[in-house]
Amino acid sequence: MKKYTIICALMLSFISLTAQETPTPNYDLASRFSPNKIAKMVHSTSVRPNWLQKGNRFWYQYKTSTEGSKYYLVDADKKTRKPLFDNVKMAKWLSEITKDPYEAKHLPRFNFEFTKDENAIRFYITSNEEVEVTEDEKEGDDKKDDKKKKKGKPKMEKKVYHLEYRLGANGLTILDTKKKEKQPWKSWANIAPDSSIVLYSKNYNVYWMDKANFLKAVKDEKDSTIVENQWTKDGEINYSYGGRTYGKTDKDKLKDKDKRQGLYGHWSHDSKQFVFTRTDARHIEDLWVIHSTKKGRPQLETYKYHMAGEQDFYKYEMLVFDIPSKSKKEIELDSTIQQSINIYSYPRKNNARGDEHNPTKLLSKNGKIYFSTTSRDRKRLDIHVADIATGEIKTLIEEHSNTYIEQRGKSIVLFNNEQEILFWSERDGWGHFYLYDTSGNLKKQVTNGPFHVDGFEGINEKERTVYFTANGIAKDQDPYYSHLYKINLNGSGLKSLNPGNYNTSISLSDSNQYFVSNFSRVNTVPKSELRDSNGKLVMKLEEADLSQLFAAGYKFPEPFKAKAADGITDIYGVMYKPYDFDSIKKYPLIEYVYPGPQTEAVNKSFSQYMDRTDRLAQVGFVVITLGNRGGHPARSKWYHTYGYGNLRDYGLADKKYVAEQLANKYDFINLDKVGIFGHSGGGFMSTAAMLVYPDFFKVAVSSAGNHDNSVYNSWWSETHHGIKEEKDAKGKISYKYMIDKNQSLAKNLKGKIMLATGDVDNNVHPAGTIRMVNAFLKANKRFDFMLFPGSRHGFNDREYWFWRKADYFSKHLLGKEVEGVDLMEMNRDIPQKR
């Protein structure tokens, strides 16, 4: 009897253990970490310096749960960090002036403007006191109700105070009580560097007005005395001079046609020329989406959209507008080949980013236009210089590759009185800097070795030192971690300026003498510090306040390293577990994917944006993100271009193989229940995974996926997959494009899949998802589909979409279908009004 009792007890224990193997969905834990709730628990995580123009000074705002928002002024030269003002005193002064109560921890978010002497700040505060609208303000209003206003009650509005605080003073000065004027001119006025003339677009043409008339428009755009001058007359829709129609319905295009709109281009430094790139898209075929949820009749949105493999291509012109003579000429480009052009800009200073008048200028100060041309197949990049006066073009650098050529925003840097060029290239298999003279002669490869130079940050011309960010120099850490380095232009003296086993982001002062470094990993608290140009720590600035997040139960995720499917290449990822993790249980594994190749969906720094990773794990899953060969460009060109010519399948073997390695290592991972999800390219990849490895991936949620890349934009798929340029016997060039499509494998579906798209997605058109739906229908497959009305590429109803994903994975991986119509996790956080 005793023996029987023991056996029964063991059997009951085994049954109990088995019953616990699959977790129960924990919606309460997931709802605890919604974006709205995270925003209340996590505030500032980095210092964003606002560099001032005088000295090496900056101010910044930092918010914590204990003190609210505080503002600091840092003087790097003096090594001081002081509050910009006393929060307690500021609350007192604002309360006394506005008659509204303020508290030190709950000051409004200020939008400061420093005075020219940088010894005072100015800002606007709106009080709750209502005052009658003054006659001056009424003049700018519509006057159709003037008679009613005179007979009825006066129009009221909340009183506004324009205030000034002199740094170190003991009070505020009221400058005036006028509202901050609306500045609609900012959306259309392109003001010359010397402020003598303003250019803009209207009716698809170039218009201009002088300074006197522009000042009238600043005061009142509808002033009937404003003199406008039309410069061009050949502009038309899709072959226009400025203006913007993309994203507008056909009805809105007609409504806005006669309005002043933006004209974007490059000014010469002396304000005498304006260089504009005109695009001819008239021959590109139309695409459409229908706005069904707009008020009234559904509205059509027509736009030009170049799809991969189409023979026609955009045509570009480079035009120079001469301001004194009001003439126009064209810089003659090779019109026999399909190519895009990019004009290089003069770098903007960090301390001028808040400047209202900061026009885009040509890279050269000496009447030269530096620009690049990129062939349609993205295998050829040439750097040219054109003389703005004569139009003569000289090719300086020719860059050719058998795969696509990666570019950077600052691919070239002009310096040393415009006698030298620093050029970024991956020609030796890694991203590096090369030094040229301005005749196009290579002088020196500046950086060298198996690491990736990511971006130019600054140059000390006197010391001939370059500052740049790079990945992979420190061989003992994740190669994606970015750090700031400096090196001499002769290739010597490479030095890390913010070392450490962290990922960092930096802001370098315009003097190149100091920089703010923000650093963290996915499993550390973010910190910020100030360092000098030799890497010496000047002062610690901030440490993020995550106390409330931890109090709510948050736990850091775990970085990991595994091998790619070749057994050689290192793959880096992050594992997210439920915060109530129980190692005895068997957790379904879900992969969040985005294949790139322009990036990888793997966090390297702490992030409070948790919906796709941490938060989904709380439902009852182990969620992982990982790279794959053919992903992020921060590694070698071989790694980045691994998927060239195989854009559908290139990353799938690595996703599968890494999951298998993790399951072998951790008993708590249930490899019989593997899910996958992603958005955009991730939607494309997650669906492909279900069809290429149908016995491994069991459940997918695929949103806004470009399942059929023949109806996606040419830039992404022609660049990263490749397009073949062919020439016939007569010299005529044609383009051949072939890519595997998800719908060709629809018959392979074995698991559960939910597809979703926004009905007005003008990036990844809904046709891609609808074709996938059609393929599943024809293959007689059961599947699920959701349409988000009124949503572009990023869904409007993100919280709703999170819970529908949670429902789907819960049902098919945890075996628990959520009952009830209402999404209670959303409804209980929304005030219910009758």
Number of domains in the chain: 2
Residue 417 lies in a domain: no
One domain, residues 29 and 72? no
Q: What is the pLDDT of residues 609-646, one digit of tens each?
A: 988 999 999 999 999 999 999 998 899 999 999 999 99
The reported pLDDT for the residue numbered 13 is: 47
Is the torsion defined by CA of 348, 354, 355, 358 positive or negative?
Answer: positive
Query: How do strand 432-437 and strand 442-445 relate by DSSP bridges?
Result: antiparallel
713 closest CA partner among 768, 665, 658:
768
Measured between alpha carbons, how far is 501 from 438 in angstroms, rounded to an integer? 39
Q: What is the pLDDT of residues 418-467, one digit of tens each?
A: 999 999 999 999 999 999 999 999 999 999 999 999 999 999 999 999 99
Residue 737 lies in a domain: yes
The reported pLDDT for the residue numbered 56 is: 96
In 310-428, which ranges are continuous DSSP H helix?
none
Give the percent of the chain with pLDDT over 70: 95
Q: What is the pLDDT of residues 473-493, one digit of tens each?
A: 999 999 999 999 999 999 999
What is the span of the domain harbouring residue 561?
A: 22-41+549-827
Q: Name 306's Cβ contacts closer than 8 Å, sequence gap at least 6.
A: 281, 284, 312, 313, 314, 713, 714
Q: Residue 159 pLDDT more than 60?
A: yes
Exposed / middle / buried, residue 135 (Cβ in 10 Å: 0-12, 13-18, 19+): exposed
One domain, residues 665 and 713? yes
What token pair was written down for 463? 């010391």
One domain, residues 37 and 70? no
Instruction: Please check whether residue 648 is in contact with residue 441, taking contact to mean a CB–CB distance below 8 angstroms.
Output: no
One domain, residues 558 and 579? yes
Q: Residue 18 pLDDT more than 60?
A: no
One domain, residues 73 and 130? yes
Residue 395 lies in a domain: no
The reported pLDDT for the residue numbered 354 is: 66
Instruction: Please check whether residue 666 is in contact with residue 781, taking contact to mean a CB–CB distance below 8 angstroms.
Output: no
Question: 484 by DSSP, 3-state: which?
Answer: strand
One domain, residues 26 and 85? no
Rg of the chain taking only CA atoms, in angstroms: 30
One domain, residues 112 and 65? yes
DSSP conformational letter for 363 = S
Q: Name 464's Cβ contacts closer than 8 Å, sequence gap at least 6.
A: 488, 489, 490
- Mean per-residue pLDDT over the chain, rounded: 92
Q: What angle do CA 805, 808, 809 make, to 5 degrees?
A: 90
Q: Residue 793 pLDDT more than 70?
A: yes
Across residues 380-396, what is the average pLDDT? Answer: 96
In 233-273, which ranges are continuous DSSP H helix?
250-256
In 693-820, which ranges are continuous DSSP H helix?
714-720, 766-778, 798-809
What token pair was written down for 265? 């281009």
Measured between alpha carbons, how far is 131 from 154 in angstroms, rounded to an integer? 9
One domain, residues 581 and 669? yes
769 closest CA partner among 678, 699, 683:
683
Across residues 751-777, what is the average pLDDT? Answer: 97
Instruction: Please check whether residue 42 is in contact with residue 52, taking contact to mean a CB–CB distance below 8 angstroms.
Output: no
What's the per-residue H, E or C state across 590-635? EEECCCCCCCCCCCCCCCCCCCCCHHHHCCCCEEEEECCCCCCCCC
One domain, residues 161 and 34? no
CA distances to 163, 307, 735 from 718, in Å: 54, 9, 10
Query: How do strand 452-460 and strand 465-471 relate by DSSP bridges?
Result: antiparallel
204 closest CA partner among 183, 230, 227:
230
For residue 125, the cross-strand partners are 161
**By mean pLDDT, which of 9-23, 428-442, 679-693 is the weakest?**
9-23
Residue type for 523, please? Answer: N
HSE-CB at 793 with a 13 A cutoff on CA atoms is 15
CA distances to 35, 107, 453 from 490, in Å: 49, 52, 16
The reported pLDDT for the residue numbered 5 is: 53
Measured between alpha carbons, how far is 471 from 504 in angstroms, rounded to an integer? 10
- For 361, other C-beta atoms within 10 Å of its C-beta total 19
Across residues 505-509, what is the average pLDDT? Answer: 97
Measured between alpha carbons, how far is 108 from 69 in angstroms, rounded to an integer? 9
Across residues 551-576, what is the average pLDDT? Answer: 97
What's the per-residue H, E or C state across 650-705? CCHHHHHHHHHHHHHHCCCEEEEEEEEEEECHHHHHHHHHHHHCCCCCCEEEEECC
One domain, residues 37 and 160? no
Q: Residue 10 pLDDT more than 50?
A: no
Residue 691 lies in a domain: yes
One domain, residues 592 and 621? yes
Q: What is the layout of strands, in order, in the sheet containing 368-375?
A: 339-343, 368-375, 380-387, 393-400
Instruction: Please check whether residue 438 is in contact with residue 396, taking contact to mean a CB–CB distance below 8 angstroms.
Output: yes
HSE-CB at 427 with a 13 A cutoff on CA atoms is 13
Residue 118 lies in a domain: yes
Instruction: Tell me which of 3 and 598 has the higher pLDDT.
Output: 598
The reported pLDDT for the residue numbered 411 is: 83
What token pair was written down for 635? 């590694």
One domain, residues 784 and 639? yes
Across residues 188-212, what is the average pLDDT? Answer: 96
The reported pLDDT for the residue numbered 828 is: 85
CA distances to 596, 601, 682, 779, 784 from 678, in Å: 12, 9, 4, 23, 16
Residue 502: what are its φ and ψ, rounded to 5°? -140, 160
Residue 85 lies in a domain: yes
Query: How do strand 156-166 and strand 205-210 relate by DSSP bridges?
Result: unpaired
pLDDT band at 140 (very low <50, low <70, confident <90, very high): very low
565 closest CA partner among 479, 633, 650:
650
Q: Name 179's Cβ contacts closer than 8 Å, sequence gap at least 6.
A: 124, 137, 157, 160
Helix, strand, coil % in the chain, rounded to nearest 5: 20, 30, 45
**By mean pLDDT, which of 1-15, 411-425, 796-810 is the weakest?**
1-15
Is the torsion defined by CA of 158, 162, 167, 171 positive or negative?
Answer: negative
Measured between alpha carbons, how far is 563 from 572 in angstroms, rounded to an integer? 9
Question: 473 by DSSP, 3-state: which?
Answer: coil
Q: Residue 12 pLDDT more than 50?
A: no
Residue 316 lies in a domain: no
CA distances to 72, 507, 528, 674 from 47, in Å: 10, 9, 6, 39
The reported pLDDT for the residue numbered 2 is: 55
Measured between alpha carbons, how far is 573 from 609 in angstroms, rounded to an integer? 17
Instruction: Please check whether residue 346 is in contact with residue 362, taking contact to mean a CB–CB distance below 8 angstroms.
Output: yes
Q: What is the pLDDT of residues 657-681, one digit of tens each?
A: 999 999 999 999 999 999 999 999 9
The reported pLDDT for the residue numbered 20 is: 53
In 115-256, which ranges are continuous DSSP H helix?
135-138, 146-151, 211-219, 250-256
Q: How many residues does the chain have?
A: 834
Residue 320 lies in a domain: no
Measured between alpha carbons, how far is 622 from 640 in angstroms, rounded to an integer? 27
- For 245, other C-beta atoms within 10 Å of its C-beta total 20
The CATH number assigned to the domain holding 639 equals: 3.40.50.1820
For residue 675, the cross-strand partners are 590, 699
